[in-house]
């Protein structure tokens, strides 16, 4: 059995055959995962300094020089790093007195923070499979982003108390701005909202749950939803970027909805995070500092949006990006700013960020070439092994080498 680190579900029932270093046949791996496996032999990163090929040791030395000379360095990425590498990353940030951040500062960090602080109740996917009778996908389209989400955990499988699965024992509700592939499955359980209309929908739903008539067009549908939620024995809400990226106020409104639902019955929230170990980084940093992202060790421990990549790049004089591609994701002005700062990129594959970086250091692909541990998006620790031989070093070893050299 092999593991898939293609998304944060960390599927552990994969069967794979290799032939001549390439993937020959896979079983149980979704299309996204298959792409992740096939990429093993495509566009791999080679060690380089200033665009010229070097050996890993020289690249590490150059990286250490850039980081040591900087006054305001930023360590960014970490979503595609093992728990060991993330822990070392936090230690490196402490040693350098630098800022450390990950892509959750502009995606689902707010939700993860509330979960880790205990402000929003959560549960594991196994609880969902065994007990949940209502699954709500809010601004979340797992059919596209986490293909096996619904089949492994949230809707279709049979569980301990849900022996009849999706046919009779489970209800899927989708709240989204468009009829996504997940909404197609939910059929009548789809609630279309306007972009940025989460708070208004929550207000109407809270009114319904409070026994009032909601001020919405389709009152009957909303009242039915209220009844379903009130009667649910155990509900699970899966949040996506649609909810979190709308507005901060919407997350607060969402918290009050979850609190209200928990007065009536039991509802838990699991965010659908992007990279395979985003949850791991958020949790590691939270345990060390009390913040899930955007932390600076320059003067003790301080956290806040000013230490997130979006704001910290102003005045930043060195960036180390590990297993992430901010140059491809950030808005163009920020990406340009990033490209103008001396950057060290540690990644398994060539990306826009590694192309723009001064120093590139290749790492092994976790779960395929290297073993390690990670936290699934619901917080369950998963240990995995490598399945193919590789001369590329695991991420933790690279961070350790940099740590020794700075």
Partner 1 sequence: MISVMEVYQLLPKTNCKKCGLPTCMAFAVELLGKRKAIEDCTPLVEEPKYEKKLAGLRELMAPILSTEATETGMVIHPEKCYGCGNCVVACPVNVANDPKGTAIGRGPVSGKAILMVEDGIVKCVNVDQCRRFGPEKVLCNACIVTCPSKAIEFI
Does 26 participate in binding partner 1 (rule CB under 8 A)?
yes
Q: Both tokens of residue 109? A: 């960090």
Taking the complex as a whole, the smallest distance from the CB of residue 209 to partner 1 amounts, in Å, to: 29
Does 144 participate in binding partner 1 (rule CB under 8 A)?
yes
Does 159 participate in binding partner 1 (rule CB under 8 A)?
yes
Does 182 participate in binding partner 1 (rule CB under 8 A)?
yes
Does 33 participate in binding partner 1 (rule CB under 8 A)?
yes
Which position among 7, 10, 29, 273 is part of the footprint of partner 1 (CB under 8 A)? 29
Which position among 72, 148, 279, 358 is part of the footprint of partner 1 (CB under 8 A)? 148
Which position among 46, 91, 124, 156 is part of the footprint of partner 1 (CB under 8 A)? 156
Does 166 participate in binding partner 1 (rule CB under 8 A)?
yes
Which position among 150, 258, 338, 357 is part of the footprint of partner 1 (CB under 8 A)? 150
Taking the complex as a whole, the smallest distance from the CB of residue 123 to partner 1 amounts, in Å, to: 16
Taking the complex as a whole, the smallest distance from the CB of residue 276 to partner 1 amounts, in Å, to: 17
Does 151 participate in binding partner 1 (rule CB under 8 A)?
yes
Does 136 participate in binding partner 1 (rule CB under 8 A)?
no
Which residues share a beta bridge with 190?
174
Does 21 participate in binding partner 1 (rule CB under 8 A)?
no
Nearer to partner 1, 154 or 294 (CB): 154
∠ CA 403-405-406, nearest 5°, is 70
Instruction: Give the per-residue SS3 of the chain.
Output: CECCCCCCCCCCCEEEEEECCEEEEEECCCHHHHHHHHHHHCCECCCEECCEECCHHHHHHHHHHHHHHCCCEEEEECCCCCHHHHHHHHHHHHHHCCEEECHHHHCCHHHHHHHHCCCCCCCCHHHHHHHCCEEEEECCCHHHHCCCHHHHHHCCCCECCECCHHHHCCEEEEEECCCCHHHHHHHHHEEECCCCCHHHHHHHHHHHHCCCCCCCCCHHHHHHHHHHHHHCCCEEEEECHHHHCCCHHHHHHHHHHHHHHHHHCCEEEEECCCCCCHHHHHHHHHHHHCCCCCEECCCCCEECHHHCHHHHCCCCCEEEEECCCHHHHCCHHHHHHHHHCCEEEEECECCHHHHHCCEEEECCCECCCECEEEECCCCCEEEECCCCCCCCCCHHHHHHHHHHHC
Is residue 200 within 8 Å of 217, Cβ to Cβ?
A: no
Query: What character string, x for contact with partner 1 (CB under 8 A) and - otherwise, covers 72-111?
Result: ----------------------------------------
Does 258 participate in binding partner 1 (rule CB under 8 A)?
no
Does 31 participate in binding partner 1 (rule CB under 8 A)?
yes
Nearer to partner 1, 24 or 220 (CB): 24
Of 145-153, 246-254, 305-313, 316-324, the segment contacting partner 1 by CB under 8 A is 145-153
Which position among 13, 43, 71, 119 is part of the footprint of partner 1 (CB under 8 A)? 13
Which position among 2, 30, 96, 115 is part of the footprint of partner 1 (CB under 8 A)? 30
Of 75-83, 140-148, 189-197, 284-292, the segment contacting partner 1 by CB under 8 A is 140-148
Binding site for partner 1 (CB under 8 A): 13-15, 25-35, 129, 143-144, 147-148, 150-153, 156-159, 165-166, 181-182, 184-185
């Amino acid at each position: 059995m092999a593991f898939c680190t293609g998304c944060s579900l960390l599927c552990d029932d994969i069967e794979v055959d290799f032939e001549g270093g390439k993937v020959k046949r896979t079983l149980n791996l979704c299309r996204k995962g298959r792409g992740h496996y096939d990429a093993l032999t495509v566009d791999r990163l080679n060690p380089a300094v200033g665009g010229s090929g070097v050996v890993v040791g020289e690249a590490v030395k150059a990286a250490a020089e850039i980081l040591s000379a900087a006054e305001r360095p930023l360590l960014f990425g970490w979503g595609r790093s093992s728990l060991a590498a993330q822990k070392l990353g936090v230690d490196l940030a402490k040693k350098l007195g630098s800022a450390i951040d990950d892509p959750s500062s502009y995606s689902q960090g707010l939700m993860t923070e509330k979960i880790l602080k205990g402000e929003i109740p959560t549960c594991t996917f196994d609880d969902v499979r065994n007990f949940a009778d209502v699954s709500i996908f809010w601004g979340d389209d797992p059919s596209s982003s986490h293909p096996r989400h619904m089949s492994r955990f949230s809707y279709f499988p049979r569980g301990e108390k849900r022996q009849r699965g999706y046919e009779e024992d489970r209800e899927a509700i989708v709240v989204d701005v468009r009829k996504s592939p997940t909404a197609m499955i939910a059929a009548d359980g789809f609630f279309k909202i306007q972009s940025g209309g989460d708070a208004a929908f929550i207000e109407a739903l809270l009114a319904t749950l409070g026994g009032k008539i909601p001020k919405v067009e389709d009152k009957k549908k909303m009242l039915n939803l209220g009844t379903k939620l009130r009667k649910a024995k155990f509900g699970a809400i899966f949040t996506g970027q649609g909810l979190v990226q709308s507005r901060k106020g919407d997350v607060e409104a969402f918290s009050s909805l979850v609190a209200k639902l928990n007065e009536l019955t039991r509802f838990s929230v699991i965010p659908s995070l992007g990279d395979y170990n985003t949850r791991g980084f958020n949790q590691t940093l939270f345990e060390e500092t009390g913040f899930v992202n955007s932390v600076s060790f320059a003067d003790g421990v301080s956290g806040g949006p000013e230490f997130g990549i979006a704001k910290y790049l102003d005045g930043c004089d060195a960036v180390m990006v590990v297993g992430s591609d901010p140059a491809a994701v950030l808005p163009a002005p920020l990406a340009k700013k990033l490209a103008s700062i001396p950057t060290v990129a540690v990644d398994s594959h060539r990306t826009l960020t590694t192309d723009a970086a001064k120093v590139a250091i290749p790492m092994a692909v976790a779960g395929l070439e290297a073993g390690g541990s990670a936290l699934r998006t619901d917080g369950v620790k998963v240990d995995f092994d490598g399945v193919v031989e590789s001369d590329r070093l695991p991420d933790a070893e690279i961070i350790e080498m940099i740590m020794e050299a700075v």
